[in-house]
Amino acid sequence: MSEQVAFQHIEKTSLIGTRIKKPDAPAKAIGKTRYINDMVLPQMLYGKILHAGRTHAEIVSIDTSEAEKLPGVHLVITAQDTPDLKLGFVKDNAPLKDKVRCERDEVAAVAAESEAIAAEALKLIKVTYKDLPPVYTIEDGLKDGAPVIQDRFPDNKSLSFKFTHGDMAAAEQKSDIILDDVFNVHYVTHCCMGTSCAIADFDHNGKLTIYSQTQYPYNYKMDLAPALGIDPGDIRVIQPPTGGSFGAKLDVYPFEPVAAILAQKTGRPVKILFDREEEFINSPTRQPARMHLRTGCTSDGILTFRAADVMMDNGAYTSWGPTVPVIMMRTVSGHYRVPVVDFKGQAVYTNNAYAGSFRGYGNVQMTYATAQHMDMLAEKLAKDHNLDPIEFRLKNAQKSGEVTPQKSFLRECALAECLTTAAEASDYVNKLNKYTAERAQEGRYKRGIGLASSIHNAGGAKIHKSDGCGTILKMDDYARVTVITGASEIGQGIDAVIAQIVAEELGVPTEHVNLVNNDSDLGPWDVGVHASRTTFIAGNGARRAAIKAKKQILAAASKQANVSADELDLRGGFVVQDKDGAVVTKLDKMLRQMHFQPEPDVVMVSDYYEPNSEPEGRDHISDHSAAYSHAVHIAEVLVDTYTGEVKVEKVTMAQDVGRVINRMGLEAQMEGGLAFGLGFALSEEMIFEEGRLKNPSFRDYKLPTAPDMPDLDIHFIESDCAEGPYGAKGIAELPTIVVAPAIANAVYNATGIRFFNPPMTPEKVARAIWEKKQV
C-alpha cells in the first residue's frame, strides 16, 4: 500500500465556501430523529401547570385536596411549596406565583402517571381569586396611583436605558429636513415547531439532569439554580434535538424549574410538554415597542442627528425582552453615519404578556423605523434636490475603520458594496421611478420596490464576562476526529460548519469528524447560541484546536521523514509535501506510529477562544462585538389595492458575510431568517384583549406558508473579516431584521401610504387605501 501511494500527489483544495450537507438532515427528513418532545424515561411522570387565565389578582386560597385524591396523581404543588425561589433578569419572577400578574401566571402544578390524568387533576384544583384593578397600557402603568404590578417597582418603571452623543441643539440647527414619527411595533412570537419541553431527573446524590431546549446550557445552570435552591454545580444540562428556539430558550422560564421541583419531590423523572395553545400563551413574545424617531438631514443629503425615544410594555415580568435597547441604541444609527445621537428607552410593567429574546433582538424593531426614515429622506431629497436615492445612502454609508458614537469599531465595512450590489441586481432606481409614476394611474394592482438596510453584531456580543467557547479535539488510530465543543447544535448548522472547518485543517473527509456537544458534563464552556455568534466563535475555536492537532502531527511526521514541518501538509487523509503534494505517509498510519511508541504521542488538544471584543460595561457602550456586518434588502411587491393583499414577489439580499463557509447552510439561514421577517411584516400578530391572547392557534396566528415565500436573489459580499474564521462573520439575524422595512418601503412605493404600525395585513392596507381615496 505504502509503495503504491508513494508516487501519488495530492493537490491542495479547500472546503471553505462549498456546500456541506447538514449531518442530521436525512434523519430529520424521514422522521427518525428523536426530539426532546418524543423522549420517555423509565418511571417518568407527566407534569402539567395550572395557569391563572386572569391578569391581575390576589390568590385568596388554593384547595388541592380533590386533585391529590385523583388516582394516578403523585403530587400537587403551589407557591407554598416553592418559597423564595426566583428567576428572571431582575429576579422578579417565580416558578409558581403567590399573586397573579398576567394571564399565563403559573399557579399550581401536578405530576401524574399520564398527561390525561394530570390535565384532569388541574380541573380539580380550586383557586379563589380576588381580582385587582389591571394595567394594560404603558400610559396606565405610569399614571399616579396606578396599580402596582411588582412591589419592588412601585412606579411600575422597569429597565431604562440612555445614550447621548454630540450637541443635539446644534445638529437640529444645521438640519434642513427633520422627520418626526412614531412607530409601533407589535407582538409576535417564535412559533417553534417543537413546543416547549423539559424533562427533569434527580439522582440519589441530589444531582439534577435536565433535558432542555435551552440555547445557553452553561449559564442556564446559573439561572436555574436559584429557582430550585440548589447549587449550579449540581445541574447537568442535556440538549436533545429540538424543534427550534430562535431566542425563545435564552432564559429560564417557569415550566423548567416546575418540572425540576416536581421531579425532586416525587423522586421520579418529570416531563412537561406544552400543547400548541399553551405554547402561544406561555412563551415569550418579541418585545413590542413604541418608537418616537426623529432624524435630521441637510439639503445636500448629510445626516445630522437621530433621536429615539422608545417606550416598551414590559409585561408582568422581566425576561430579555425589555433589554433590547442594548442593541437598539447601537443600531439606531450605526450603519449610516450619524454624528449626533440621543437614545432613551424605558420599560413599564403592565399585566400583559412578557417578552424574551427573539432573532434580531431589538434590531427588528429599530430597523423597521430607521429604514423607513431613510426612505422618506431619500424620497424628499430626490424630489426637492434631485439627489439619487442610492447616492444619498452611499454619501452617509460608513466605511471600514470608522468607529460609531456607540464605540462599534467597523473594521471591515461593506455597506456601500451591499447597497450598490443589491441596487444594480434589482434595477432599483429605475423601478422605483417607474412605480412612482404608475401609482397615480388607474388600476387595481400596483407594484412597488423598497430598500432597507441595517447593521448587526457579527462577531458575538460580549454581554457576559466572557464571550468565549471551549473546544477539545482528539484523533484516534484510524484518523477519525472527535470534536467536543461547548457550542450547542439546536438546528442552526454548527454541526456541519465544525466538521467542515476541522476537515479543512486536518485534510480528512467531513464525515470523519464526529461532533460531541449538547451536554454540559461533556462540553467545555460556551455562552450559547445567540447573537449570530456560533460560527464565528465556535468556528474559530474548532479551527484553532485543529491547527494545534495538525502542528503536533506534522512535527512527528517531520522527525520521521526528516523534513521541516513547514514543508509538510495534511491532505486527503495523507501527510504530504506542501509544495507538490507528494505523499509522505498515510495519516492513520502516522497517528498509529505516534501512538504506539515508547513515549506515546497521542493527539488530544484543547482550545478556549475568547474574541477580542470588549465587555458591554454598565452603559452598554463599547466595542462589544469582534465584528459588525451590514445587509441590504430590496423587496418587490404587488399590492391588490382592492383587497389590500401584499404579495412579496422578490427580495434581493446583499449581505456582508465576511466569507462564505458552508454555502448551503448560509443560504438556508438567509431563507429561514427572511421568513421570520416576512411574517412580522405582513401577517403575524398576537391579538390581546385586556391582557388575554385571542388567537392562540395557527388558524388565527398567521405564520407565512410556503406559497408566501418570495423569489430570493442572494448576494454574499465577502469583506474578509480579520478576526473571523477564514474571514467569516456571523450572519443569522440580519435576514430577519432587514426585510420588513424593505417591504414597508415597497408598499409605500406602490400605494403612497406609509405603514408605521405593522403588520401590514390585507385589511389594514385596504382600509388605508380606501380612506386615502375618501379624502
Partner 1 sequence: MSEIEKYIAPDTVSDAVKALSSGGVTILAGGTDLTPQVDAGRRSHAPTLMNIRRVDDLSGITQNKGETRIGCLTTVSEIKQSDLAPAILRQAADHFASEQIRNAATLGGNICNASPAGDMINPLLVLDASVELASWKEGAMEVRREPISRFFTGPGKTIKHDNELLIAVVFDTPGPDFVGYFRKSGPRPALEISTVSVGIGGDYKDGAFHNVRVAFGAVGPTPLRGKATEAMLEGQALTAEVIDKAARAAQDDATPIDDIRATSWYRTHLIAVFTEELLNNVCQN
Q: Which residues bind partner 1 (CB under 8 A)?
A: 116, 119-120, 275, 277, 642-643, 645, 682-683, 687, 694-695, 698-700, 702, 704-708, 761-763, 766-767, 770
**Least separation in angstroms between CB 635 and partner 1:** 17
Question: CA dihedral defined by 310, 316, 321, 322, rounded to 10 degrees?
Answer: 40
**Least separation in angstroms between CB 305 and partner 1:** 38
**Least separation in angstroms between CB 744 and partner 1:** 16
**Least separation in angstroms between CB 115 and partner 1:** 11
Which amino acid, 569? Answer: D
The 10 Å Cβ neighbour count of residue 650 is 15
| Rounded Cα distance, 502 and 499, in Å | 5
Contact 200, 208 (CB under 8 A): yes
| Rounded Cα distance, 509 and 492, in Å | 21
Beta strands in 174-283 (DSSP E): 177-185, 197-202, 208-212, 235-238, 270-273
| Rounded Cα distance, 286 and 740, in Å | 15
> Closer CB to partner 1, residue 581 or residue 762?
762
| Rounded Cα distance, 265 and 202, in Å | 9
| Rounded Cα distance, 696 and 694, in Å | 6
Beta strands in 203-269 (DSSP E): 208-212, 235-238
> Closer CB to partner 1, residue 155 or residue 763?
763
**Least separation in angstroms between CB 213 and partner 1:** 23
> Closer CB to partner 1, residue 410 or residue 681?
681
Q: Supply 417's cell numbers.
A: 458594496
> Closer CB to partner 1, residue 507 or residue 679?
679
**Least separation in angstroms between CB 291 and partner 1:** 24
Contact 154, 262 (CB under 8 A): no
| Rounded Cα distance, 486 and 480, in Å | 20
Q: Write down the H helix ranges in 406-485.
A: 415-426, 428-439
> Closer CB to partner 1, residue 60 or residue 706?
706
**Measured between alpha carbons, how far apart are the two ends of the chain, in Å?**
87
Which residues is 128 bridged to in the sheet? 61
Nearest-CA neighbor of 237 among 15, 525, 658?
Answer: 525
How far, in Å, are 634, 642, 742 from residue 450 at the CA level? 5, 21, 5
Nearest-CA neighbor of 394 among 428, 370, 418?
Answer: 418
Nearest-CA neighbor of 110 among 271, 225, 267?
Answer: 271
The 10 Å Cβ neighbour count of residue 718 is 18
> Closer CB to partner 1, residue 120 or residue 578?
120
> Closer CB to partner 1, residue 501 or residue 675?
675
Measured in degrees and rounded to the nearest 5, phi and psi for residue 599 equal -115, 85
With DSSP H G I counted as helix, E B as strand and the rest as coil, what are the percentages for the chain, rounded to 5?
Answer: 35, 25, 40
**Least separation in angstroms between CB 243 and partner 1:** 18
> Closer CB to partner 1, residue 460 or residue 704?
704
Q: Supply 376's cell numbers.
A: 422618506
**Longest Cα separation, the chain:** 92
> Closer CB to partner 1, residue 229 or residue 762?
762
Query: The dihedral of CA 532, 313, 223, 465: what is its sign?
Result: positive
> Closer CB to partner 1, residue 629 or residue 683?
683
Residue with cell 409585561: 315
> Closer CB to partner 1, residue 69 or residue 767?
767
> Closer CB to partner 1, residue 684 or residue 723?
684
**Least separation in angstroms between CB 623 and partner 1:** 42
Which amino acid, 382? Answer: A
What angle separates helix 428-439 from helix 734-751, to the nearest 10 degrees?
40
> Closer CB to partner 1, residue 131 or residue 700?
700
Q: CA angle 144-147-149, nearest 5°?
A: 120
> Closer CB to partner 1, residue 102 or residue 682?
682
| Rounded Cα distance, 775 and 773, in Å | 5
> Closer CB to partner 1, residue 295 or residue 683?
683
> Closer CB to partner 1, residue 139 or residue 763?
763
Report the helix count and the strand count for the chain, using DSSP H and E.
20, 28
**Least separation in angstroms between CB 704 and partner 1:** 7
> Closer CB to partner 1, residue 109 or residue 118?
118
Nearest-CA neighbor of 610 among 551, 537, 559?
Answer: 537
Which residues is 726 bridged to in the sheet? none
**Least separation in angstroms between CB 117 and partner 1:** 9
Beta strands in 214-278 (DSSP E): 235-238, 270-273
DSSP per-residue letters across 558-616 = HHHHTS-GGGEEEETTEEEETTT-BEEEEHHHHHHHHHSSSS----EEEEEE--SPPP-
